[in-house]
Amino acid sequence: NAGVTQTPKFQVLKTGQSMTLQCAQDMNHEYMSWYRQDPGMGLRLIHYSVGAGITDQGEVPNGYNVSRSTTEDFPLRLLSAAPSQTSVYFCASRTVNSPLHFGNGTRLTVT
């Protein structure tokens, strides 16, 4: 049972490049979400999904897109990377009565 798997673990982008952060869970959890962690800021919600085909915005959605075509996968897309998106990104999932299970994070640097 792998839990929540994020890839890649590290990524360096140049300003303006696009990329997709992958997230997959094998626990059949309905809810999935993306957070970013910045120094001194805690974790902030970017986007979330309550099930396949349903997504919604969190606290800091600008510059990010998501989709949920399957229960297992919840990719996060950066369409045109900016230095302000340098951060550590965490994907998480849960079912109705469980706490959030987090992936190990993706450290993204935008130069």
Partner 1 sequence: AQKVTQAQTEISVVEKEDVTLDCVYETRDTTYYLFWYKQPPSGELVFLIRRNSFDEQNEISGRYSWNFQKSTSSFNFTITASQVVDSAVYFCALSEARGADGLTFGKGTHLIIQP
The stretch near partner 1 (CB under 8 A) out of 14-22, 66-74, 75-83, 101-109 is 101-109
The sign of the dihedral angle between the CA atoms of 63, 95, 100, 13 is negative
Considering only 41, 69, 84, 109, the residue that binds partner 1 (CB under 8 A) is 41
- Please, which residue, 17 or 22, has the CB nearer to partner 1? 22
Whether 14 contacts 110, CB under 8 Å: yes
**Nearest to 101, CA basis, from 41, 27, 22, 38:** 27
Report if residue 88 touches partner 1, rule: CB under 8 A: yes
Q: In the complex, which residues of this chain contact partner 1 (CB under 8 A)?
A: 31, 33, 35, 40-45, 48-50, 56, 58-59, 88, 90, 94, 99-102, 104-105
